[in-house]
Amino acid sequence: MSSPIDTLVNREYQYGFVTEVQSDTLAPGLNEDVIRLISSKKQEPEWLLDWRLKAYRRWLTMTEPHWGNVKFDPIDYQAQRYYSAPTSVKPKQSLDEVDPELLDTYKKLGISLTEQKLLAGVAVDAVFDSVSVGTTMKEELSRYGIIFCSFNEAVHNHPDLVQKYLGSVVPYSDNFFAALNSAVFGDGSFCYVPKGVHCPIELSTYFRINAAETGQFERTLIVADEGSYVSYLEGCTAPKRSTHQLHAAIVEIVALDNAQVKYSTVQNWYAGDKDGRGGIFNFVTKRAKAFANAKVSWTQVETGSAITWKYPSVILQGDNSTGEFYSVAVTNHKQQADTGTKMIHRGRNTKSTIISKGISAGDSQNSYRGRVQVLPRAEGARNYTQCDSMLIGNRCGAHTFPYIEVANNSSTTEHEASTSKIGEDQIFYCKARGLNAEHAISLIVSGFCKEVFKELPMEFALEAQALLGITLEGSVG
């Protein structure tokens, strides 16, 4: 008798459509001229071009990292296109001027850029390939002094802020993909919350890759000034294509004294087909710097991408600062994920919490990699790490790579780990109570992920639960 989960059908990736728009796309290849061209298309100031070129020159000296527990053939960087933007997108256009085709794309993704009533409580910056096509609620936010706009717009309108903080958390020399991003980034989102302001709504960026053979290299810079608060959401999808596409993004967060930033991601890039053809290579650098008494929380639900390589981290710079990382990473079929966090304790009495839940199904490999580093000055630092893995079926793998370095003797670190297998017994138990296999798996997995889901904003929690159900359908052989 076949396994009950076997009988489930594989639902198609829901967001795999392609938008037919006329685009301004660069020929494949990367050199200084390409970078100059990208910079000139964005009418960037000289200092930013210089910064890009420095990053590029640094990148040329670096090698593609293969230390992660993921396997992929070396990428031909000259075969990639580094810029693609719909020709209809004009600099400084208002939302009323956005191409209806693009509006329709976002509508299909469940995001309305025009109908304000559907957006209650959330402001969106919509990034399409290499450009931002529009940002909602800008005027409403500006009443609070909050700046929320595309990165390119910030470069023009708030150059002092961008210049001060760009690369201050993730320097262009940080790693291979960060250097590449710094050289070629297209667009992204920028957010500044002034002193003492509690941002009244959720801010969000929605990343959409559309063009073929084109990488998406966006960057997000969030600056929360002293005593401010902001909650930021990120979503992402891409069309189904049979070749891999590179997504190398950077998110930098600066939380100044007493500020609080909550950054939540539901990552649903196209994962490739069940045999591992196509899908996004998601090689992302996300890092925050928390100054005195500041708090930064990363919450991520990673269900998509052929390969995920990302470690949202917190540098606990100031005394009494707090860093949190809550993660659910789900892999199915041939997906590979190597994800986790770094908590770098520099300040005294700094505190970090890491809760990681990995779910592997099919032939996938799912690794948690985390570093907890307590520097000599960070007296009284505390860390609690818990990583749990769940296996569905017999062909997948779960791995844990924790690194803990403590350089003083007044700090406490705790690490707990567990691995469990979702059993036919659990599923049968649910079925014997009238629940079908799909319902049973979603129930069991939701229970497993509960500690992370409760950290997600309401809008995302429901989406994440639904997404998990879809990702795991047909997951056991």
Q: Is 435 helix (H, G, I), strand (E, B) or coil?
A: coil
Q: Where are the strands (E) in 303-376, listed by range? A: 307-310, 313-316, 322-331, 336-345, 351-360, 365-374
Q: Which is nearer to other proteins, 62 or 435 (CB)?
A: 435
Q: Which is nearer to other proteins, 95 or 435 (CB)?
A: 435
Six token digits for residue 128: 């399409």
Helix 437-453 crosses helix 424-431 at what angle (to 10 degrees)?
110
- d(C-alpha 444, C-alpha 222), whole Å: 36
Cα 203 to the center of its chain, rounded Å? 14
Report the DSSP beta bridge partners of residue 352: 323, 383
Q: Which is nearer to other proteins, 277 or 439 (CB)?
A: 439
- Give min distance, CB of 452 to other proteins, in A: 10
Q: Cβ distance 106 to 126 under 8 Å?
A: yes
- Give min distance, CB of 461 to other proteins, in A: 14
- Give min distance, CB of 448 to other proteins, in A: 6
Six token digits for residue 119: 């957006």
Contact footprint for other proteins (CB under 8 A): 1-4, 423-426, 428-437, 439, 443-444, 446-451
Q: Which is nearer to other proteins, 244 or 357 (CB)?
A: 357
Q: Which is nearer to other proteins, 3 or 14 (CB)?
A: 3
Please enumerate, as own/partner, the contacts of 69-77 that have beta carbons within 8 Å and a separation of 24 or more: 69/336, 69/338, 69/365, 69/367, 69/369, 69/399, 69/401, 70/307, 70/309, 70/336, 70/337, 70/338, 70/365, 70/367, 71/336, 72/244, 72/281, 72/307, 72/336, 75/246, 75/281, 77/30, 77/180
- Give min distance, CB of 423 to other proteins, in A: 8
- d(C-alpha 287, C-alpha 253), whole Å: 6
Which DSSP state fits 216?
A: B
100 Cβ partners below 8 Å, 6+ apart?
Answer: none
- Give min distance, CB of 425 to other proteins, in A: 5
- Give min distance, CB of 453 to other proteins, in A: 9
- Give min distance, CB of 351 to other proteins, in A: 25
- d(C-alpha 337, C-alpha 282), whole Å: 9
Q: Which is nearer to other proteins, 32 or 451 (CB)?
A: 451
- Give min distance, CB of 336 to other proteins, in A: 26
Q: Are strands 202-208 and 122-128 parallel, antiparallel or unpaired?
A: parallel
Q: Where are the strands (E) in 104-259, listed by range? A: 122-128, 131-135, 147-150, 188-193, 202-208, 219-224, 229-237, 244-247, 250-255
Q: Measure Cα distances from 474 to 8, 107, 419 in Å.
A: 5, 28, 21
Place of tokens 């500044």: 192
Q: Which is nearer to other proteins, 74 or 434 (CB)?
A: 434
Q: Which is nearer to other proteins, 238 or 430 (CB)?
A: 430
- Give min distance, CB of 419 to other proteins, in A: 13
Region at 293 (left for phi over 0; alpha for psi -120 to 50; beta for the rest): left
Q: Which is nearer to other proteins, 283 or 448 (CB)?
A: 448
Which DSSP state fits 74?
A: P
Count of Cβ atoms closer than 10 Å to residue 112 Cβ: 15
- Give min distance, CB of 420 to other proteins, in A: 8
Q: Which is nearer to other proteins, 175 or 389 (CB)?
A: 389
Q: Which is nearer to other proteins, 57 or 454 (CB)?
A: 454
- Give min distance, CB of 131 to other proteins, in A: 42
Report the DSSP beta bridge partners of residue 329: 302, 358
